[in-house]
Each structure stands twice: as structure tokens, then as C-alpha cells.
Amino acid sequence: MSREGQTSQPKYLRIAAELRGALERGDYQPGDRLPGENTLAADFDVAPLTMRQALGVLRSEGLVGSRKGSGWFVESFRPIRRRGIPRLARGQWGSGKTIWSADDHRAPDVDQITVQEDTPPPEHISDVFELAPGETVCVRSRRYVMEGRPVMVAESYLPQSLVAGSPITQADTGPGGIYARLADLGHAPARFREEIRVRMPSAEEAARLAIPADRSVIKLARTAFDSEGRAVEINEMTMDSATYVLDYEFDA
């Protein structure tokens, strides 16, 4: 297996690292406007093009942003902490202690929702549901925003035969949401699996999340199993990788 060696680093990445260090030290505060590109280039003793490439790296990481006509600024958005496993009562646990600072107290809102019934499933969805050929799914597609900023899109898949005629096929599923309605149908989720990977966004994902094409996304697929071990829902989430800290707490 060949690997791309990294003996020396391109100059724009060195500059990006220096500027990242300055942000981490607090030389510039969230929301601050940065000096102009030419001023920064002079400060770092590089060509303006190199400076712009370095700023592009920090933008792909969500550390800085740019506004047409008013240059670069330090991102003020705090990452969102997403707890995969519901909090247990724990009192004694020193679980206020976290490695990364993130917003623990707010959840994003849904600003777009569509429901499509009777849709042919993608193959990997069909496989997990063990659907027979020709069986269809109900797809609930949502976008989440926080402070006006898209942070996640999510597609929930449910076997059509399981949910036909139920409130799950409506935009508003009522109190307790999908899981409460699955319980009404006799298929309450009893166990979850969450699978996480990271990749570059598709054009459509980058557009829906309004992120630069070179910022990666977190793909998080959550499968709900009922007490019989049947997969009853798969929620495929696509997150702006700069906005989330994922958090799992569990007993040894």
C-alpha cells in the first residue's frame, strides 16, 4: 500500500497553522474582523495568494468566515454538543468535565421538512430493513438550523408497510415524535446503533448546509431496533463537521 508522504509542508499550510495558533491563543476574538488580506500577507511575509489559501484552510475548518466586501472575520459560532445516549441521572459523575467547549444547552430547530411515502429505498437501507424486492419506504427529510445557520440535514427511513396510515407519514408526528408513534404501533425502539464516518460533501449536501465544498461532513446513521431486534427506523444525518461535538457516555 503506497501512502502519500509528508516530508515538507506547503507554505500556505504552515501559515494556516500559525494563524490557527493565533486564534487559539485569543489574539483575535470570535466575531472580530481580521486585518485585510494584504496586511496579513505582509505580516506573515508571504504572497497575498498564499495568504488567501491559508485563510481558505481555516474557513474549511469553520474557524474564520468571509463576507463579500468586508473581508475575513473570526467565526463566533459555538459547536453544538450532541449527546448520542440520553443522559442518565448521575449526580456523582464528573460529567460536567468535557474536553472540548461546546453549546450544551440549545438544540437546533427544523426549518425544512418533507415526507415522501411509498418510495423505492436505497439498497443499503433495503438491506438493513431486510425488505422484499419491490417493498417501499417512507422518507422524512429535514434540515436543522441554529442561529439562522444550517447545521444538519437528516433523512429518516421507515418501512412503508409499518407506518402506512400512521401520523409518521405526516409532517407533524405529534408529541414524542417518531419514536412515540412507533411505540403506538407496537414497535417501540429498544436499542440503537449509531455509525459515524467522515467524508467530503456531495454538491447537494454542500448546498443544503451552505458550507464550502472543501469542508467535510459527518455522516451519522442511527438505526432503531424494536424489542424483537427488527430495524424499524434508519436516520441518516449529514452534519457540518465544523459545528458538532458528538458525545457518548456509558458505563464500563
Cell triple for residue 50?
Answer: 498564499
**Residue 95 touches a copy of itself, criterion: CB under 8 A:** yes
- Is 18 among the residues that bind a copy of itself (CB under 8 A)? no
Note whether 103 and 79 are within 8 A (CB): yes
How many CB atoms sit inside 10 A of residue 76's CB? 11
For cell 425544512, the residue is 112
Q: According to CB under 8 A, which one of 39, 98, 114, 116 is a site residue for a copy of itself?
A: 98
Quote the CA–CA distance of 114 and 227 in Å, as a whole number.
29
* C-alpha cell recorded at residue 41: 500577507
- How far from each other are the two terminal CA atoms of the chain, in whole angstroms? 36
Residue closer to a copy of itself (CB basis): 45 or 123: 123
Q: How far is it, in rounded angstroms, from Cα 136 to Cα 159?
A: 6
Say how far apart CA 13 and CA 20 lie, in whole Å.
10
Phi and psi, residue 151, nearest 5°: -125, -25
Does position 85 interact with a copy of itself (CB under 8 A)? The reply is yes
Residues 14 and 9: their CA atoms lie apart, in Å, by 7
Nearest-Å Rg of the Cα atoms of the chain is 22
Q: Which of 38, 118, 124, 174 binds a copy of itself (CB under 8 A)?
A: 124
Which lies closer to a copy of itself via its Cβ, residue 129 or residue 173? 129
Residue 207 CA to residue 230 CA, distance in Å, equals: 34
Q: In whole angstroms, how close is the CB of 115 to a copy of itself at the nearest point? A: 21
Give the chain's length.
252
Taking CB under 8 A as the binding criterion, the range among 3-11, 105-113, 132-140, 166-174 that sits at the site for a copy of itself is: 3-11
**For residues 42 and 127, which CB has a smaller minimum distance to a copy of itself in the complex?**
127
Instruction: Tell me how far, at minimum, the Cβ of 179 lies from a copy of itself, in Å.
Output: 8
Quick one: 98 or 171, whose CB is closer to a copy of itself? 98
Site string for a copy of itself, 190-219 (x = CB under 8 A): xxxxxxxxxxx-xx--xx--xxxxx-x-x-
Q: Does 106 bind a copy of itself (CB under 8 A)?
A: no
Among residue numbers 23 through 82, which ones bind a copy of itself (CB under 8 A)? Answer: 57, 59-61, 65-67, 76-77, 79
123 binds a copy of itself (CB under 8 A): no
Q: How many residues bind a copy of itself (CB under 8 A)?
A: 88
Q: Which residues inside 232-251 make contact with a copy of itself, applying CB under 8 A?
A: 234, 236, 241-242, 244-251
- Positions 137 through 196 that interact with a copy of itself (CB under 8 A): 147-150, 179, 188-196
Residue 219 · residue 56 · CB < 8 Å: no
